[in-house]
Amino acid sequence: MAGVTGVAAMSVLVMVMVVQMVAMMGVTVEAQGSWAVLQKNAGIASMHSAVSHFDQVIMLDRTNIGPSAIKLPGGRCRKQPLERVSKTDCYAHSVMFNPNGGGVRPLYIFTDTWCSSGQFFDNGVLVQTGGDFEGNKVIRTLAPCGAGGNCDWVETGARTTTGRWYASNALLPSGTRQIIVGGRDGPNYEFYPKRFAGEGSFYVPMLGGQDTLYPYVILLPNGNVFFFAGRKSVQINWNNQKTVRTYPDIPGPNRNYPSAGSSTLLPLTWQNNFGQAEVMVCGGAAGGAAKANNVNAPAVASCGRMVMTAANAGWAMSNMPIRRTMGDMINTPDGQVVIINGAQNGFQGWGKANNPALNPVSYNPGNGRYAVLAKTNIPRLYHSTANLLSDGRILVAGSNTHQFYTYTGAFPTELRVEAYSPAYLGAGNNNVRPGIQGYPRAIKYNQVFAVTFGIGARAGGVECVMNSAPYSTHSYSQGQRQARLKTSVPVKVGGGWSVQCTAVPSANVLPPSYYMFFVVQNGIPSRGVWVKQNN
């Protein structure tokens, strides 16, 4: 500290002490990764988003907000007599966004999609369920297309048994049926499509009440489904509608809407034959903050992990270096979890949060350590989304803390789309990043298949990794899962390398669908390619 005196010396000493104390807590202080704005005006503030296997991002907002910032093409207008704001509406409330170039194409939505849910089918069709008012029981689909296509939303005519506002969806092992869980005034679950004519919904007591909206829903390796709502969680055999297991409550306050914690299934791995499933739940609002309308209440820093498949399952707790409500959790191909977006005070709702959490945080499930990542300058609060792209970036969009589109005042409606590039995409890694050259476009369960790739001179093991394409909304990525496949030692082939990858054993691990496929070498992932997991 030579040359540093007085107040400056004290400041340096305090900073050193803070870094040392944070390190003792298992946290690494690292400003890493980078940000880039991809589009200054996407036309809508993304409330829901999903990435199709054409590498296009489908974004939706509500319809009952009045004008958006993008019109429907060709003078088309939506004439909806049940609409509560604009019965004749010539503005789009859904768009298809191209993350490679920033192009935006308006899409047509007829009924309100406010706080709705969704999931892809095995054929790549995005199913979108529920919403508010006239959209409450509506089921919509979009068969995706590339950047030059003209695909659009279709209302199927099918309806859910119960109104689904703030519900969650998960793909079941068939790949052709989804389970739709919870929602306001919907303490139950049902299926789309129905298993038989006249099938209704099935009551689950823990899905009712405050802080249980947008429940966390996870397909388990045994074929059952895990539900988490508030602080409680159960395992359901959806074939016979039986609750087969009740888990301990997570410590701390409630975690679901409007508390706005977040959750993800940690990576499934070949080392235990994909039989161990572990959930992680992070952050949320302070206990009672929403009920007391305390917009300044400090958010929660705690995270809990629980092995749902363990005989003595219980929560193991840790603290994030940044407290956070309305965060999004993303499984990145290097095996990390990135926690991004949100606020440090308040809870979900219009104007109910402040003090944006501008620094993402990464978490290493292997050693339990956190790292603070590079800061954005754009707050992402209520109604924002985050999705992994196949090139390894994380796309973030949205944030509207107001009832309508409002471009003035604190935290205005956010139309910009940006991408966070983790450190593995840094310039120093360009010459050692694997480049996939040959791979199967479709794989079957237990199949052993070859992948060839080019790579720079670099030491370290190679892994084949598959990531789902979840539906992101309200701090939860519905259907998010990652599988790390058994991978052979690389063999030199011509000017590149080849490995043998072994597919997962069953549809309970990865239901039939399209997945992003990566080759990861010593923590550096390739650009992903899309593969179809078939039965």
Residue after which a domain boundary falls, among 406, 425, 444: 425
Report how far apart, in Å, the C-alpha atoms of 225 and of each of 313, 324, 462 are.
15, 27, 31
pLDDT of residue 17: 39
One domain, residues 218 and 304: yes
**What is the pLDDT at residue 10?**
34
Opening angle at CA 432, ends 429 and 435, nearest 5: 110
Residue carrying the six token digits 């405050």: 210
Using the structure block, give the residue that is written with the tokens 């139309």: 415
Considering the domain architecture, whether residues 25 and 158 belong to the same structural domain is answered as: no
Residues 324-350 pLDDT 10s:
999 999 999 999 999 999 999 999 999
Of 81-90, 410-419, 423-432, 480-489, where does mean pLDDT reach its minimum? 423-432
- Distance, in Å, from the CA atom of 354 to the CA atom of 375, rounded to the nearest integer, reads 17
Q: How many CB atoms lie within 10 A of CB 231?
A: 23
On the CB side of 188, how many CA atoms lie within 13 Å of its CA? 14
Same domain, 69 and 90: yes
Instruction: For residue 413, give the 3-state DSSP assignment.
Output: coil
342 and 358 together in one domain: yes
Q: Report the share of the chain in percent with pLDDT over 70.
A: 93
Rounded to 10 degrees, the C-alpha dihedral 223/268/191/385 comes to 170
- 450 and 491 fall within a common domain: yes
**349 and 444 together in one domain:** no
Q: Domain with 386 in it: what CATH number?
A: 2.130.10.80
Pairing mode, strands 242-246 and 462-467: unpaired
Does the predicted model carry a pTM greater than 0.85?
Answer: yes
Q: H or E segment at 24?
A: helix 6-24
pLDDT for the residue 3 = 37
The pair phi, psi for residue 149, each rounded to 5°, is: -85, 180
Q: What is the pLDDT of residues 475-518, one digit of tens each?
A: 999 999 999 999 999 999 988 999 999 999 999 999 999 999 99
Element (H, E) at 22: helix 6-24
The per-residue pLDDT for range 288-318, each reduced to its tens digit, is 999 999 999 999 999 999 999 999 999 999 9
- pLDDT value, residue 427: 83
ω before 258 within 30° of 0 (cis)? Answer: yes
pLDDT at 7 over 70: no
CATH code of residue 462 = 2.60.40.10
pLDDT tens digits along 356-379 = 999 999 999 999 999 999 999 999
Query: What are 370's strand-pairing partners?
Result: 27, 363
| Backbone phi and psi for residue 9, each to the nearest 5 degrees, phi listed first | -65, -40
Q: 3-class SS at 431?
A: helix
Question: Which range marks the domain in which residue 10 is found?
Answer: 1-30
Picking from 425, 447, 469, the residue at the C-terminal end of a domain is: 425
**What is the helix (H) or strand (E) element at residue 181, kind and residue range?**
strand 178-181
Residues 25 and 71 in one domain: no
Contact 236, 247 (CB under 8 A): no
| CA distances (Å), origin 323, targets 204, 362, 431, 499, 532 | 31, 13, 36, 41, 38
Query: Does 189 share its domain with 284?
Result: yes
Contact 259, 285 (CB under 8 A): yes
Shared-domain flag, residues 102 and 192? yes
List, as one string, the DSSP characters of 464-505.
Answer: EEEE---EEETTEEET--EEEEEEPPPEEETTEEEEEEE--S
Strands (E), 332-408: 337-340, 343-346, 353-356, 361-364, 369-372, 384-388, 394-398
One domain, residues 524 and 405: no
CA distance linking residue 37 with residue 238, whole number of Å? 43
Contact 347, 297 (CB under 8 A): yes
Strand, helix or coil for residue 355: strand
Q: What is the reported pLDDT for 458?
A: 62
The residue from 425, 442, 464 where one domain ends is: 425
Half-sphere exposure of 153 (CA within 13 A, CB side): 27
Which 3-state string (H, E, C) describes 306-364?
EECCCCCCCCEEEECCCCCECCEEEECCCCCEEEECCEEEECCCCCCEEEECCCCEEEE
Report the number of distinct structural domains present in the chain. 3
Q: Supply the DSSP symbol for 507.
A: T
Q: Average pLDDT over the chain, rounded to whole?
A: 93
Q: Tokens 């050193």 identify what position?
A: 16
Answer whether 288's CB lies under 8 Å from 294's CB.
yes
State the residue for tokens 């958006």.
68
Q: Identify the pLDDT of residue 494.
A: 87
% of the chain surpassing 90 pLDDT: 88
Q: Are residues 410 and 477 in the same domain?
A: no
Other C-beta atoms closer than 10 Å to the C-beta of 408 total 7
Same domain, 262 and 145: yes
SS3 string of 33-77?
CEEEEEECCCCCCCCEEEECCCCCEEEECCCCCCCCCCECHHHCC
**What does the DSSP 8-state code read for residue 213?**
B
Is residue 222 predicted with pLDDT exceeding 60? yes
